[in-house]
Amino acid sequence: MMNALLNGIVWFYLLSPFVVALFLVPWSIEDAKLRGKSPLVVSLAVVLFFPWGLFAWLVFRPNRTNAAGSKRPFRLEDHRVQ
């Protein structure tokens, strides 16, 4: 009984980083698109180098681009109703 419980705990700790990394794929794809970067490169870096790839993307990711695709950052004043 104790051996089965211990095996379950070990498997949980070994597999949980992989499950978290798989849930980060859709987020990293959308975030890369919002910031004008390649979704494939960003998602591969986040998953293959997890957790360091995630940390690097969070630290070094560029500012968001607007819908038109220009490099101007989002400003709330541009979207307020007069």
CB neighbours of residue 44 within 10 Å:
14
Contact present, 33 and 39 (Cβ < 8 Å)? yes
Which tens digits make up the pLDDT trace of 6-64?
888 989 998 988 888 889 999 999 999 988 899 999 999 998 998 899 999 999 988 87
Q: CA dist 44 to 9, 22, 75, Å?
A: 28, 11, 30
